[in-house]
Amino acid sequence: MLFININVRIAFTTNNLGKLLNSRDDQKPDKHDINGVYQLKCPTCHKKCTGQTGRPFRVRFHEHYNDYKYANNKTKFAQHVLDEGNSFGFMTNIMDIIRIEKKGRMLDILEKYYIYRETQYGKQINDKLKFQKNPIFEA
């Protein structure tokens, strides 16, 4: 009744200022929350297991860790660590993110290349591509 004489209308809305101030669009995502090619390095013997994931690196690391923890031997890295009696280590210490890439053919090729490269150095754990020469990767 107070505002009728001065022709002002009152509206009830929610406060959007708090939403605008709490916007975090400018922050980069954690590197372990994206996907691509990764390497797990054995903390004891320093051999590497190269892999790819279309899911976050963090999720894939926990799969390797659970295979080690429950002695499932599903992943080559967990199998290597268990067979050799080596320690496992923390994600930040043993997981290197090699290349960020979306799931697809390019991710498959990159994984093969990094496995091939570690095979040449004699430091890979992966079985696949162990003895295959690839002239493209040599170039």
> What is 33-138's CATH number?
3.40.1440.10
Spatial CA neighbour of 38 closest among 65, 69, 60: 60
Mean pLDDT of 22-26: 59
| Confidence at 20, pLDDT banded by 50, 70, 90 | low
* pLDDT for the residue numbered 129: 52
Question: How far apart are alpha carbons 85 and 45 in whole angstroms?
Answer: 11
Mean pLDDT of 108-118: 90
Query: Is 110 in contact with 37 (CB distance < 8 Å)?
Result: yes
| Total-model pTM | 0.74
Question: How far apart are alpha carbons 46 and 27 in whole angstroms?
Answer: 33
